[in-house]
Structure formats: structure tokens, C-alpha cells
């Protein structure tokens, strides 16, 4: 069979997003590694963007709420993480000393239990971090890190989880940090220029990076390649995409493959350049969320801890933790986690605007998923058992948002001949009036989860729907309308 995709951006950009990814809606992200041993990040200042808005880049990195960034944050003088590390483990305890502790704890891990939970939640795919910015691998690579020969897990975590996830009928995706690898970096990241414009680019690093990606593709055949931050400047990105698509035509790649040019990298590392880049990226993050500008190619975009305000034509995937971290942070308090109601409403909003949600779970070092996280995602799963048909396999309607006369927000999705109107709160009246929604005369309406006949009446542009008599408390209610309205 001749290879369909050529190693050029023009060729790989012809790749179409497969239907399975449009249909999937919900993925589970897993951040698990050496950082799960200390499981610490400063808590209480809120999400990254709140810190950035209030205190700027220096505070953003020194008080990074992402526990998976432990290695970088512990190196920043007087950071809360550095203080915690010295107090807990002592000055001479290095990050690498967490490796035997992680490997020992991970012996208790049961991948089947994870897969059972993900299935119960309703996830259609899983994305595992195979290497984070610390360079530690979760699989036994044939291409060891030339800087640290045995820097990998004692179990083939990637292989074991892939098998368990696929065994439950879900797709498996793999994350790999290409732009940051502390084993190849001689500096700490203290502002955004350090993060984006000083990434390793040596021939040695490019060779390892490329070998790792191809090994992950060949051995584990992932349905998603989820890169982070960016990609080495001198690496052949189009060749990597073509290699992947020719092996896995139904696979998808995310948007975080930016290659910072030599000119921009040089400019950003001057005094004035650093000021300009820091100002520009801060403004972009605070107005658009943590997004990747102008990726060379992608199947979907990945706003982080943020969302879009309207339907976006290009497929996208919102990603976030249940709290303010991806890696498990034992310093986080229960009130810093999403409530089930918030999670359900956030998810419905994302789906109505053509998005998927990649929701992160951060396990403890021994592989247990903390109860506060488990309870939250199982709450979402419980809601989906009743309302999943208004979510999975749907597409955005002609508009995403509506409202009732009571002020309850409404989100719309559609599938075949059916429109779903999802109320994001509990009605207090015996009927609901959705503004500006005109139905066909013989339309049939159902409240998902209730068998009784639902009456409705059209009053001008507004639609009045009777509510079920014994309406139970729920984070959201899905109403199906068949046939769907032909106009606004």
C-alpha cells in the first residue's frame, strides 16, 4: 500500500478529523510520575491565570499550582515548593531520589481498576502522560536518555494501561513533553521566555525525541498524539505527522507543536525582547486563555483551564484538572475542587460549542485515585447514564446558548432529527419557557430520564414546556425535541 501522506505540512493538513473524535466528547487525562511522590504545589492562590493576572510571570512560576512542575518550582529560590522540599526531605535530597520511591509505590497500581472507573464515568478515550518535563519515562524505551540511562519506571505503565483501556472499549492516547526536558536543560524556568524560547534543540535531543515518538507510535499505536508546549526547532515536524497518519489514519494530533524560530528565540532572549514577549503572551493568555497561537498543523486545539464563548468550527478539546493542578496535590483543599454540578454544566457548555473535555485525574504515587477526584467524576458518570444521548455522538446546533424566562441558561446539541435543549439548573415552576425557540407543529418532546408525556405550547417565538411532576434534583436536565426546529 502506498503511503497516503507525504512528509510536508501541505500533505498532512489534508488529514480530516475522524468521526470517532467528534463523537467521543469525554476523555480522561492522567498525570502520574515522580512528582506524585511529593504531591505538592502551593495552594490557595487559585488557578494559574489568576496568579498571572494579579502578580505577573515571576509569581506565576514561583507559585505554580501544577504539582507536576515540582522539579522546576523546587529550584526557584524561596518558592513555597522549595521550602516544602527542604523541610520535608532535606537540602541534599534530589528530585531523582523520588525514583525508587515511585517505583516501589507503583507496584501496587492496578490498571484494570483505573479502566473500570474511566468506563463508569463514560469516558470514550484516555490520554496518559508518558514523559513530563522532568524527562522520566513511563515505559521501558529501547532509546534510553543519553543524559540519564535508567530514568524510567520499573513497570511498563504505558503498555499496561493501554491494554486495560482498550479492553474496556475505549481509545488510548499518549502525551509526551517535547519542548521541555529538564535532563537536557541547564536552567530553571522563571518566565514565559524560558519556557517557550529556550527549549532543547541539540541533535542529540532531537534524535531521542524523534525515536521516542516513533517508538510510542509503533509499539502502542495511540489514537491521539498529545504533545506539550512545543517541538524542537530543527526537528522535521511534517515527517513526524506523516509517519503517524500513515501508520494510524484514524489518529489525531493536538495543537502544541509550535516551533519557535531562531530569530524569535534570539530576540526573546534580549532584554527588550523578553519584556515584549512576556507582555504579549500575558495579554494573550488573559484574553484567550492558555492557548497555542498559530500551530503549524493540528486536528484540534487545546485551551487549558479555559473555554470558548461560542461554537468554534474547528474541533477543540478543553483540558483541565478537577482542582488547580494536574498532578495530585495533597495540599489542595476539597473546596478547591470542582463540584459535580459545576463539572456537569462545564461539560455541557463545552460540548454545545463543538468541544471535547479532557478531564484530568492525578493519582497518588501508589496509583490510587483520591476520593475527592473519584467522587466528582463518578457524579458526572451518573448524570451521563441518564443524559448521555444528549451528549455522545451529537454535533453543535445553529446556536449553542439559550435562556428561559426564569433566567436558567440553556445549551443546545443535535443528533440526526433530534434537538436537545439542556437546562443548566433546576426549574422552580411547573413549566419552563425557553425564549426564541419555535417548533414544528407535531414535535414530540421528552425529558430524558422521565417516561411521562410532556405537553408543550408555542407562544410567539417562545416555547413553553411542562416539567415532569416529580422532577428530581439534578445538575442539568436534557430535553429531546423531534423533529428539530428548522430555523432559530
- Kindly report the number of other CB atoms within 10 A of residue 227's CB atom: 26
Rounded Cα gap, residues 248 and 79, in angstroms: 44
Rounded Cα gap, residues 302 and 319, in angstroms: 6
Q: What confidence score (pLDDT) does residue 486 get?
A: 80
DSSP assignment string, 296-332: SS-SSB--BS---SS--SS-EEEEEESSS-SS--TT-
- Could you tell me the residue ranges of all domains in the chain? 9-390, 395-482
Q: Reduce the DSSP state of residue 241 to 3 states and report it.
A: helix
CA dihedral of residues 114, 120, 121, 127 (deg, nearest 10): 40
Q: What confidence score (pLDDT) does residue 447 get?
A: 96
Q: Residue 65's closest CA among 323, 339, 293, 418?
A: 323
Rounded Cα gap, residues 106 and 367, in angstroms: 6
Q: Reduce the DSSP state of residue 189 to 3 states and report it.
A: coil
CA angle 264, 268, 271 (to 5 degrees): 145
Q: What confidence score (pLDDT) does residue 2 get?
A: 59
Outline where 221-320 has alpha helix (H).
237-247, 262-268, 271-288
Q: What confidence score (pLDDT) does residue 428 get?
A: 93
Q: Residue 105's closest CA among 37, 163, 4?
A: 37
99, containing H or E segment: helix 98-105
Q: What confidence score (pLDDT) does residue 487 get?
A: 59
Q: What confidence score (pLDDT) does residue 344 get?
A: 98
Give the right CATH number for 395-482 from 3.30.1520.10, 2.120.10.80, 1.20.1250.20, 2.60.40.1180: 2.60.40.1180
Name the pairing type of β-strands 26-30 and 125-131.
parallel
130, containing H or E segment: strand 125-131
**Residue 18 CB-density burial (10 A; 0-12 exposed, 13-18 middle, 19+ buried):** middle
- Residue 78 — left, alpha, or beta (φ > 0 → left; ψ -120 to 50 → alpha)? left
Residue 252 bridge partners (DSSP)? 224
Residue 131 bridge partners (DSSP)? 137, 176
Domain 9-390 in this protein, CATH class: alpha beta
Rounded Cα gap, residues 126 and 170, in angstroms: 7
pLDDT, averaged in runs of 10, over the chain (488 residues): 86 97 98 98 85 93 96 96 98 97 98 98 98 98 94 98 98 97 91 90 97 98 97 97 98 97 94 96 90 91 94 97 97 95 98 98 98 97 98 97 97 97 96 96 95 92 94 96 83
Amino acid at each position: 500500500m502506498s503511503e497516503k501522506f507525504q512528509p510536508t505540512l501541505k500533505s498532512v493538513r489534508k488529514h480530516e478529523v475522524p468521526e470517532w473524535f467528534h463523537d467521543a466528547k469525554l476523555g480522561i487525562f492522567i498525570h502520574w510520575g515522580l512528582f506524585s511522590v511529593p504531591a505538592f504545589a502551593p495552594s490557595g492562590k487559585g488557578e494559574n491565570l489568576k496568579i498571572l493576572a494579579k502578580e505577573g510571570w515571576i509569581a506565576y512560576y514561583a507559585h505554580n499550582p501544577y504539582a507536576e512542575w515540582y522539579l522546576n518550582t523546587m529550584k526557584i529560590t524561596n518558592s513555597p515548593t522549595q521550602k516544602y522540599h527542604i523541610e520535608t526531605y532535606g537540602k541534599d535530597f534530589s528530585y531523582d531520589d523520588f525514583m525508587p520511591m515511585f517505583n516501589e509505590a507503583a507496584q501496587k497500581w492496578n490498571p484494570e481498576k483505573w479502566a473500570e472507573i474511566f468506563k463508569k464515568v463514560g469516558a470514550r478515550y484516555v490520554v496518559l502522560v508518558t514523559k513530563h518535563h522532568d524527562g522520566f519515562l513511563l515505559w521501558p524505551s529501547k532509546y534510553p536518555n543519553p543524559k540519564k540511562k535508567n530514568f524510567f519506571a520499573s513497570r511498563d505503565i504505558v503498555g499496561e494501561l493501554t491494554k486495560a483501556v482498550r479492553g474496556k472499549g475505549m481509545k488510548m492516547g499518549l502525551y509526551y513533553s517535547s519542548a521541555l526536558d529538564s535532563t537536557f536543560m541547564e536552567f530553571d524556568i522563571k518566565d514565559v521566555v524560558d519556557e517557550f524560547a529556550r527549549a532543547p534543540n541539540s541533535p542529540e535531543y532531537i534524535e531521542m525525541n524523534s525515536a521516542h515518538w516513533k517508538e510510542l507510535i509503533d509499539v502502542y499505536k495511540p489514537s491521539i498524539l498529545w504533545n506539550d508546549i512545543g517541538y524542537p526547532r530543527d526537528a522535521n515536524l511534517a515527517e513526524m505527522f506523516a509517519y503517524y497518519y500513515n501508520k494510524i489514519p484514524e489518529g489525531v494530533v493536538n495543537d502544541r507543536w509550535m516551533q519557535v524560530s531562531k530569530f524569535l528565540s534570539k530576540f526573546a532572549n534580549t532584554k527588550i525582547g523578553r519584556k515584549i514577549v512576556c507582555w504579549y503572551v500575558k495579554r494573550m493568555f488573559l484574553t484567550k486563555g492558555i492557548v497555542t497561537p498559530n500551530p503549524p498543523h493540528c486536528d484540534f486545539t487545546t485551551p487549558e483551564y479555559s473555554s470558548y464563548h461560542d461554537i468554534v468550527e474547528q474541533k477543540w478539546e478543553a483540558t483541565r484538572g478537577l482542582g488547580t493542578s494536574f498532578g495530585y496535590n495533597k495540599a489542595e483543599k476539597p473546596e478547591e475542587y470542582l463540584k459535580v454540578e459545576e463539572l456537569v454544566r462545564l461539560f455541557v457548555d463545552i460540548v454545545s460549542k463543538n468541544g471535547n473535555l479532557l478531564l484530568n485525574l492525578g493519582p497518588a504515587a501508589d496509583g490510587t485515585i483520591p476520593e475527592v477526584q473519584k467522587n466528582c467524576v463518578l457524579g458526572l458518570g451518573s448524570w451521563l447514564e441518564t443524559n448521555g444521548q444528549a451528549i455522545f455522538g451529537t454535533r453543535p446546533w445553529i446556536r449553542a446558548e439559550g435562556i428561559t424566562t426564569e433566567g436558567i441558561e440553556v445549551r443546545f446539541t443535535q443528533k440526526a432529527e433530534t434537538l436537545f435543549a439542556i437546562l443548566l439548573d433546576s426549574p422552580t415552576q411547573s413549566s419552563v419557557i425557553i425564549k426564541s425557540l419555535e417548533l414544528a407543529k407535531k414535535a414530540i418532546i421528552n425529558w430524558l430520564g422521565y417516561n411521562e408525556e410532556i405537553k408543550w405550547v408555542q407562544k410567539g417565538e417562545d416555547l413553553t414546556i411542562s416539567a415532569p411532576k416529580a422532577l428530581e434534583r439534578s445538575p442539568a436536565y436534557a430535553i429531546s425535541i423531534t423533529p428539530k426546529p428548522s430555523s432559530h
